[in-house]
Amino acid sequence: MSISPALTETEPIGIAVIGSGYWGPNLVRNFAASPSFHLRWLCDLDRSRAERALGRYSTVAATDRFADVLDDPAVHAVAIATPAGTHRDVALAALRAGKHVLVEKPLAASYADGLVLVEEADRLGLTLMCDHTYCYTPAVQRIRDLLGSGELGELHYVDSVRINLGLVQKDIDVIWDLAPHDLSVLDYVLPEGNVPVALSAFGADPIGAGRSCVAYLTVRLSGGGIVHVHVNWLSPVKVRTMLIGGSRRTVVWDDLNPTQRVSVFDRGVDVSAGPDLDADERRDLLVSYRSGDIVSPALLEREALRSMVEEFASAIRTGKAAATDGRSGLRILEMLEAATQSLAQDGALVPLSAAEALR
């Protein structure tokens, strides 16, 4: 792949952040703190908003002209934190201007749009990466290790709850707003042999907001496991918990418990079955219970966005796909579209296949 012409090996990567709404300032802060990058622009259609986000003491340039960013040869990469509906056009323009691209989740407003971006980045040899921030938390990194190393055994179930009094969005429902977090973590940690094969979604709009504010997703995995996600904008209680049940151990990730974010339970149900049992015999098999220790591993204290930013730098430098590259973004988009389709069909199971084929 081509490295953006002006980029030498030691030079910091020139970066511009596009969009200074809710998430943009977090990107600004992290790119500013990273020695791998030189932050050149914060661009927003509302220039005064960009200026406010930078504060009164910043040397970073604020602009409302995206063209200025694209024309700046010192800009090697852009980070896009604009509304999802604009991702396709903004990212496409950036890629075509030779810039590497980082996009806020979701990658685009539709699978088709996302596919355009993936193909264009491939064609141009540029890095396309999704900011699936949670994948870069020390907690998720550890969970991925636990699943990948086989320490949990076979994957039995994943149950994720992400509820909070949330900003009811104008353009997207609660699934498109919140579930990308859960689904991208799932995509990131799923061990070999566990591919999402079908998805069902139920939703409700009890406040009459015009889109689902409470929703439940069920995902069937090829390995026989089940994944369930509860997202909810209306809960005054904040919960961010994921249970990952394995045949040997179970992990609980409680993102709101800073002293014990990850706990590994050596407790569970064991089934001792001979290989020759028929179905009737299996029903009588012995089920036993393990009551073992709980271990909460020490985790590094490191801001996820900092690690994400360095992964972006590394992908640009090496040309290797980022851990959360455009294809992972596509896999999330396929699940989100399936959810929308299932919602419209009273929860009917919708098969998943397209994105996996691109892996």
For residues 100 and 212, what is the distance between their CA atoms, to the nearest angstrom? 34
Residue with tokens 């353009």: 171
Segment lying near a copy of itself (by CB under 8 A), choices 87-95, 188-196, 278-286, 333-341:
278-286
Shortest CB 149 distance to a copy of itself, Å:
16
Q: Does 213 bind a copy of itself (CB under 8 A)?
A: yes
Ramachandran angles phi, psi of 313, nearest 5° = -60, -45
Q: Does 292 bind a copy of itself (CB under 8 A)?
A: yes
Closest among 253, 203, 261, 255 to 232, alpha carbons compared: 203
Shortest CB 43 distance to a copy of itself, Å:
16
Site for a copy of itself in 78-117 (CB under 8 A): none
Q: Does 340 bind a copy of itself (CB under 8 A)?
A: no
Q: Does 291 bind a copy of itself (CB under 8 A)?
A: yes
Site for a copy of itself in 53-82 (CB under 8 A): 55-60
Task: Determine the size of the site formed for a copy of itself (CB under 8 A).
Answer: 77
Shortest CB 176 distance to a copy of itself, Å:
14
- Quote the tokens at residue 346: 């009273």
For residues 352 and 359, what is the distance between their CA atoms, to the nearest angstrom? 13
Half-sphere exposure at residue 19, Cβ-oriented, CA atoms within 13 angstroms: 21
Q: Which residues of 140-155 are buried (b: 16+ CB within 10 A; e: fewer)?
A: bbbbbebbeeeebebb
* Alpha carbon of residue 199 to chain centroid: 18
Q: Which is nearer to a copy of itself, 57 or 357 (CB)?
A: 57
Q: Which is nearer to a copy of itself, 11 or 122 (CB)?
A: 11
Q: Does 296 bind a copy of itself (CB under 8 A)?
A: yes
- Quote the tokens at residue 2: 């081509």
Q: Which is nearer to a copy of itself, 5 or 236 (CB)?
A: 236
Shortest CB 52 distance to a copy of itself, Å:
10
DSSP 174-235: HHHHHHHHHHHHHHHH--TT--EEEEEEEEE-TT--SS-SEEEEEEEETTS-EEEEEEESEE
Q: Which of 6, 92, 204, 354 binds a copy of itself (CB under 8 A)?
A: 204
For residues 268 and 290, what is the distance between their CA atoms, to the nearest angstrom? 5
Shortest CB 35 distance to a copy of itself, Å:
9
Closest among 335, 101, 290, 345 to 199, alpha carbons compared: 335
Q: Which is nearer to a copy of itself, 45 or 349 (CB)?
A: 349
Element (H, E) at 65: none
DSSP 73-123: TT--EEEE-S-GGGHHHHHHHHHHTT-EEEEESSSSSSHHHHHHHHHHHHH
For residues 29 and 27, what is the distance between their CA atoms, to the nearest angstrom? 5
**Residues 36-55, mask of contacts with a copy of itself (x by CB under 8 A):** ---x---------------x
The torsion of the CA quartet 92, 329, 126, 80, rounded to 10 degrees, works out to 50
Q: Does 206 bind a copy of itself (CB under 8 A)?
A: yes
Q: Which is nearer to a copy of itself, 70 or 215 (CB)?
A: 215
Site for a copy of itself in 215-274 (CB under 8 A): 216, 218, 224-226, 228, 230, 232-238, 243, 245, 247, 250, 252, 259-260, 265-269, 271, 273
Segment lying near a copy of itself (by CB under 8 A), choices 69-77, 127-135, 177-185, 346-354:
346-354
Site for a copy of itself in 153-182 (CB under 8 A): 154-157, 159, 163, 165, 168, 170
Shortest CB 144 distance to a copy of itself, Å:
18
Shortest CB 202 distance to a copy of itself, Å:
5
